[in-house]
Each structure stands twice: as C-alpha cells, then as structure tokens.
Amino acid sequence: MTLRPFALRSPTPMPGWGLSFGVMMTTLSVIVLVPMAALLWRGFIGFGPAEMWEVVNRPRVWSALALSFRAALIASVFNLVFGVALAWVLVRYRFPGKRIIDAAVDLPFALPTAVAGIALTAIYAPNGFFGAALDQAFGLKVAYTELGIWIALVFVGLPFVVRTVQPVIEEIDRETEEASATLGATRLRTLTHVVLPTLTPAALTGFALALARSVGEYGSVIFIAGNLPNVTEIAPLLIVIRLEEFDYDGAVAIAIAMLSISFTMLLVINLIQIMSRRRMGAV
Amino acid sequence: MLISPLFPQRFGAGFRGTFAAIVIGLAALAGPAPQASAETLLNVSYDPTREFYRDYNAWFSDWWVKQGNPAPQIETSHGGSGAQARAVIDGLAAQVVTLALASDIDQIANKTTLLPKDWQSRLPHNSAPYTSTIVFLVREGNPKGIKDWGDLLKDDVQVITPNPKTSGGARWNYLAAWGYAQTNGLDPKQFVADLYKHVPVLDTGARGSTTTFAQRGIGDVLLAWENEAYLAVNELGEDKFDIVVPSVSVLAEPPVALVDGNLTDANRPLATAYLEQLYSPEAQALAFKHYFRAWDTSAADPADVARFPEVKRLSIADFGGWAKVQPEHFGDGGIFDQIYQAQ
C-alpha cells in the first residue's frame, strides 16, 4: 500500500483550507468524537474493562449480540444483491412509473423507523395480509420471529446500497460491455468480468453502510421481534433494558461491545475494498 | 469518487484557523439556559395518563384562574415511566412528576438532589391521588374460559404482557401473578416461570402489548392496566373483547411528586396547587371517568364508580416495598432474569 505524503500545507491552490478544516473538526468533535470519547471514557476509566467484560460475558448478552450481527449481515447481503439489481434496473431500463419507484427507494430514509416497524408488523403478523398467506401456504411465521427482524433490517438498509451503486452504474461506459461482447465474451462473462468488478467498491460501501445502520437499528425491530430473551432479543434492546434499570455502566459496556464488533467489521470491509480497488487499478 | 467510511482519502493538516473555529463552535453551545416563567408548569407523566391529564389540565387551568391568578400554561409529557424518570434525572426541568411507580421517583431522589427521599409522605394516600389494578382482557365470549390466574397456565393459552424490565405496568402484572400464587399456597417463582412460558411476545411497553393483542390478534389474554383494558374495549369495539377480573390483583398506586429542585418561588404555588387539586372531588371524578380507581366518590358519576368490580388487591407493601422488590425481582440477575436463564 502506498501512502500519500503527509502535507502540512494546503494541497490545493484554493484558499480557506484552515477554516474548512476547522469547521470539519468542530462539527465532527461536537457531534461524533466527543460523545464517543465520553462513552469510551465512561466504560474504560469510569467502569473498568474487567467489570465491562463481566457484563458482556453472559449467555444472554452473547445471544443478543449474535442475533443482532447475524440478522444485520443476512439483511445486508440480501440488500447487496437486490440493491444492485434494483439500481441496475433503475438506471438501465425505461418503464412507466420509474420516477415514482426511484423516489420510493428513499422512503426508508424518510419514514420514522417506529412507523416502519408497526407497518411491517401489521402486514406480516399472523392476521396480516402477507403473514396470513405465508402462514397458510408454508406454515411460515414472520412477525415475532428472527425472520421478522431480517425483513425490518432489509427495509432499513435497502436505500444505502441502491443510492451508492446507482451513480456508478450511470457512469459505466456501455462501450466496454459492447467491446467485451464483440470480442466474443458470453453475457455471463461480461457481467462477471466487466460490469461487476467496476461496481464492487461502490457495492461494498453500500453494504458497509447498510450493515452499520442495521446493527444498531432499534425503532423498527422492537415492534416486529417478539423480544423474547435468548430468542428474539436484539442487543440494542438489552442496552435499553439496562437504562431502564438505571444501570448506565451496564448499558455502556454493551454499547462498547457493539461498537468494537462493528468497528472490526467495517475495518475488514474497508480492507477488502482497498484490495479490490488495487486489483482493479486506479478506479 | 467513492467515499470510504473509515479511511479518509486525504489527510493533511493546516491548523491555522482550526483552533478559532473550534472555540467559536464550542462557545455557541454554551448559551444561557432558558428560564422558567411563573405561569408555566411541566408535568412529566407516563403513558396511560394521557387522556386523564388532558381533561385535568383544562379543569385545573379554569380553577386556577378562578382563584384570581393569571392563566397558567401547563404542559404534560408522556412516555414510558422509567424513561421519563431518566429524563428528569438528566436535567429535564419538570416541576411535577406523575409516574407509574414509586421506585421511578425514588430513583430521581436517589440519583439527584431534586427532591427529598421522603417525598412519598408529603401527600395523602402515599402520594397516589388515583390507583389502578391489573385485569385480564380476553377475546369476545372468552373462548378459552379464562377466569383466574391459574387458567393462564393451560396448555393452549397464550398470554400477552410487556417486558417487566422495560415497562412499569408489566412489573405489576408480574407481581399480581406472584401474589396470586402466594395467596393460593403455590410456589410463586415456579408459577411465574410457567406463566412466562406462555408469553410469545414481550413488548417494551403497555401500549405495545395492547396493540399486539388487539390489532395483531396474538394471544388469548392480555394482562393490562384496568384503564388500558377499558380504553381498548371502548376504542376497538365492545363486541371484540371482554374484561375478566381475577380473584387476586394488585393495588397499583401511581404516585405524584413536586420536583423541588426545579421550582422557583414564583412557580411553587402553582405546582403545589396542581398536585393538591388532584385530590379535589372534581379531579377525583375525572379520574373515575378515565377508569382510574380514585378515592373520593362524592362528585363522581355513580356509574363510573360502579363499573369497578370488587377485587382483592395486594399493595406493594405486601411484597416488601419497591426498595426490596425492584432489585430482587427486576434487577440485573434478579428473579425475572433467572426465569429466562433457566429456560
């Protein structure tokens, strides 16, 4: 990996470097860094690593963490595949109602997550529209099971993949696909060797964003999950339970556990991204 | 251009101006705190009192003006009782708290100096102007024949109740079941553990459970606040649900308290009168109207009073008081946690 030289001077001829850097640092500090530091401070200095480990190292906490990350991963992989397909359709084809569908992709951003949770539960509950049909046809229960959590997280994460991949698809040169075809590549080979590699970095970014978003999702999930300890209890709910007990330290411990797992995952995704970008050359 | 969430593409440092911008930004945060004026009052309450306090605030404003005072501006905030208590602990400037559990107000007294530890003895009836109890809401015609707590353990019965860790009302549900077992010579821990095996969904709040039961059609019986049960019946149709009153239930006393630390000399009379008038015959009549079991029936509509059937009600003192019950049953590693660890 080559590192750029670390410059203490303005890298562009444009003025305002110091000011813009200051604004960036202030905003980031006030909104992100200081609260995060306070969280870590409270956990490691105020509470102590051994005490935190004792809070986290219990079967119920592990099963909630496993559920949260498993459901987020499954939902994000689903979003990765279908989000890319959806973005492809939206960019490459013309059909009636395209603009409406394009706008509808953003709805999960706009809707309060509690509303989404209630709406999804209403539809997927055993007496709801899909819920009743799925139950009758396959004996499949969706609401109040892990399946329900997946669906809520797919809903929440979908726009992240679509919106990061869409502009990249718009910029793909169709001529490369045509060139690939005229050189005798099959459609599948064109897809796997020409189209998908250009999309990989963007798709991974979308995947990482969707994953990060769904791991911490609380509002919509608590309505559709049954919240049964060890079965459908998500880690954010455990944090809320700790707060209800006025046990701020316990809440901080679980929060830091989630934070470290998320950070490690995002780090790995970023490394994969860097590797894929290097393999692609300078994209 | 792709944006990597973790690794910025470019990093350099030109710290001229940086520091100034940070200082300006932080200075903007430390503005003066808003001052409470004499005629405003913030009542921080819990969920099921929404309808009652809407009526009471209107009545009290009229009454206060009739005493020769300027019209007050009263605001009421509703939410889960524990979350509301935390908001006050964290600095929400409520002059008055009206919460579901004495233990929530105890937490405010323990964690802050906003009110004295003996707050509960400052008003009549343990500072509870109205009370409630836990009843069963069942589907029309009571198809599973549920009459009492013991029927909830039948094989094909599903019970809906919120999570006692996150809901004040759910703690009363749990205690009512515990009390029934104790009264009838059963092992209470085993009884409660068996009961929670019949619970398919643990919502985080009482309203959530009502929705799960009434709108989603899950479960055969909902353990609910009496006023929530009546509300569900009235709002969602009398032909859909029946209310069953078990042989033993609880005397839930949702307490009210002045938050002395948030009072000024100017608004203390208003806040004090606001709580004292909750015990007036007119306010008590309003409480009856909103399905609370209040104390003073003199001004109440007799029909509102008559609809409450007699039930043996255990008070929190019968369980040893909140200071003992809260950590023993609902604290970290308490009996409720043990029930789920054993499964």
* Strand pairing class (B130-131; B241-244): unpaired
**CB atoms closer than 10 angstroms to residue B198:** 19
For residue B8, the model assigns a pLDDT of 39
With a cut of 70, say whether residue A121 has pLDDT above it: yes
The answer on B333 and B238 residing in a single domain is: yes
Chain B hits for A229, CB-CB cut-off 8 Å, are: 202, 340
Which two structure tokens, joined as six digits, stand for B279? 């015990």
> A186: domain range?
41-279
Q: By the 8 A CB rule, do B270 and B64 touch?
A: yes
Task: Tell me the residue range of the domain where B334 lies.
Answer: 134-251+311-342
C-beta atoms of B14 and A9 within 8 A: yes
Rounded to an integer, the average pLDDT of A217-225 is 91
* Stronger pLDDT, B26 or A41, i.e. the higher one: A41
Residue B326 CA to residue B314 CA, distance in Å, equals 16
Facing residue for A227 by CB, picked from B7, B11, B204: B204
Number of domains in chain B: 2
Residue of B2, B20, B29 with shortest CB distance to A30: B29
Instruction: Please report whether residue B26 resides in a domain.
Output: no
Q: What are phi and psi of A50, to 5 degrees?
A: -65, -40
Closest B-chain CA to A19: B17
- Residue A91: per-residue pLDDT: 93
Chain B residues 104-123 within an 8 A CB cutoff of chain A: 107, 111
B154 lies within 8 A of chain A by CB: no
Interface of B with A in 34-93 (CB under 8 A): 80, 82-83, 86, 89
Cα torsion angle, A58, A59, A60, A64, sign: positive
Mutate to test the interface with A, among B15, B163, B325 (most CBs of A within 10 A): B163
Nearest to B160 by CA among B208, B101, B100, B192: B208
CB contacts, 8 Å: B2 with chain A: 168, 201-202, 205, 273, 277
Residue B1 binned pLDDT confidence (cut-offs 50, 70, 90): very low
Nearest chain A Cα distance for residue B15, angstroms: 6
Checking if the pLDDT of B250 tops 80, the result is yes
Does B19 reside within a domain?
Answer: no
Q: Judge: B201–A228 Cβ closer than 8 Å, yes or no.
A: yes
Q: Which residues of A touch B89 (CB under 8 A)?
A: 246
pLDDT digits (tens, 9 = 90+) for B255-283: 999 999 999 888 899 999 999 999 999 99
**Which residue from B12, B166, B217 is facing A6, i.e. has the nearest CB?**
B12
Token output for A257: 């556990």
Residue B18 has pLDDT above 70, yes or no: no
Q: Which among B175, B132, B160 is positioned nearest to B241, based on CA atoms?
A: B160
Q: Do B22 and A22 touch (CB under 8 A)?
A: yes
- Asked whether the predicted pLDDT for residue B3 surpasses 80, the reply is no
**Residues B220-236, mean pLDDT to the nearest whole number:** 89
DSSP A94: -
Q: What is the pLDDT of residue A279?
A: 74
Is the domain of B105 the same as that of B150?
Answer: no
Residue of A244, A270, A274 to mutate, interface with B, max B Cβ within 10 Å: A244
Between the ranges A103-112, A223-232, B268-277, B306-315, where is the mean pLDDT highest?
Answer: B268-277
CATH of residue B80: 3.40.190.10
Query: What pTM was computed for the model?
Result: 0.78
Residue A205 has pLDDT above 80, yes or no: yes
Give the number of domains in chain A.
1
- Tell me if B12 is assigned to some domain: no
Strands B134-139 and B96-98: unpaired
- Average pLDDT (B28-38) is 44
pLDDT value at A1 more than 90? no
Is the domain of B72 the same as that of B214?
no
The confidence band for B343, taking pLDDT boundaries of 50, 70 and 90, is low
Q: Are B248 and B318 in contact (CB under 8 A)?
A: no
**Helix, strand, coil shares, percent, chain B, to 5:** 45, 15, 40
Measured between alpha carbons, how far apart are the two ends of chain B, in Å? 52
Flag the least confident range among A174-178, A205-209, B116-120: A174-178
What pLDDT, on the 0 to 100 scale, is given for residue B189? 94
Q: B150 and B189: one domain?
A: yes
Note the pLDDT tens digit of each residue in A236-262. Answer: 999 988 888 788 899 999 999 999 999
User: Does A267 sit within 8 Å of B17, measured CB to CB?
Assistant: no
Q: Which residues contact B226 (CB under 8 A, 6 or more apart)?
A: B132, B133, B134, B135, B243, B291, B293, B308
Chain B residues 186-225 with a CB less than 8 Å from chain A = 199-204, 208, 211, 215-218
* CB–CB contact A228 B216 (8 Å): no
Question: Do A22 and B21 make contact, defined as CB atoms within 8 angstroms?
Answer: yes
Identify the sign of the CA torsion B135, B138, B143, B149: negative
Are B202 and B315 in the same domain? yes
Q: In this structure, are residues A211 and A76 in contact, taking their beta carbons and an 8 Å threshold?
A: yes
- What's the mean pLDDT when you consider all of chain B? 86
Report the residue from B15, B163, B331 with minimal CB separation from A18: B15
Minimal Cβ distance to A8: which of B14, B25, B166: B14
Print burial letters for B237-275: b (CB count within 10 Å at least 16), e (below 16).
eeeebbbbbbebbbbbbbbbbbbeebbeeebeebbbbbb
pLDDT of residue B207: 81
Whether residue B279 is found in the same domain as residue B185: no
Average pLDDT over residues B72-79: 90
C-beta atoms surrounding A60 within 10 Å: 14
What does the alpha-carbon distance between residue B279 and residue B284 come to, in Å, rounded to a whole number? 6
CATH number at A148 reads 1.10.3720.10
Among residues A253, A254, A249, the alpha carbon closest in space to that of A234 is found at: A254
B170-186 confidence digits (pLDDT tens): 999 999 999 999 999 99
Task: Check residues B181 and A18 and name the one with the higher pLDDT.
Answer: B181
CB contact under 8 Å between B80 and A244, yes or no, is: yes
Judge: B6–A18 Cβ closer than 8 Å, yes or no. Answer: no
Q: Which of A8, A126, A222 sits opposite B204 (nearest CB)?
A: A222
Instruction: Please answer yes or no on whether A245 and B332 come within 8 Å at the CB atom.
Output: yes
One domain, residues B209 and B319: yes
- B contacts of A228 (beta carbons < 8 Å): 199-202
Contact B13 A228 (CB under 8 A): no
Residue A245's pLDDT is: 79
A178, B103, B230, B269, B293 from B117: Cα distances, Å: 79, 11, 35, 21, 26
pLDDT at B6: 40
**Of residues B267, B252, B205, the one with CA closest to residue B43:** B267
Per-residue confidence (pLDDT) for residue A10, from 0 to 100 = 57
Q: Do A18 and B216 touch (CB under 8 A)?
A: no
**Does B116 lie in the same domain as B142?**
no
- What is the C-alpha to C-alpha distance for residues B46 and B132, in angstroms, rounded to an integer? 14
Cα radius of gyration rounded to whole Å, chain A: 22
Instruction: Locate all alpha helices (DSSP H) within chain A, ordered by sequence.
Output: 17-28, 34-40, 49-56, 59-92, 98-104, 107-110, 113-124, 129-138, 146-171, 174-182, 187-190, 196-215, 221-224, 235-244, 248-279
In a domain, B284, yes or no: yes
Give B167's DSSP letter: -
* A43: pLDDT strictly greater than 60: yes
State whether B224 and B335 are in the same domain: yes
Q: What count of CB pairs under 8 Å joins A to B? A: 139
* pLDDT recorded at residue A172: 87
pLDDT at B13: 38
How close, in Å, is residue B172 to chain A by CA atoms? 16
Residue with tokens 């059937």: B309
Is A25 inside any structural domain?
A: no
| CA distance linking residue B308 with residue A202, whole number of Å | 63
Q: Is the pLDDT of residue B48 over 50?
A: yes
Overall average pLDDT of the B89-112 stretch: 91
Pair B97, B118 in one domain: yes
The mean pLDDT of chain A is: 89
> CA nearest B24 in A: which residue?
A26
Q: Looking at residue B19, what is its pLDDT?
A: 45
CB contact under 8 A, B202 and A228: yes
Q: Establish if B127 belongs to a structural domain.
A: yes
pLDDT band at B11 (very low <50, low <70, confident <90, very high): very low
Dump pLDDT digits (tens) for A85-99: 999 999 999 999 999
| Same domain, yes or no: B206 and B315 | yes
Region A220-237 average pLDDT: 90
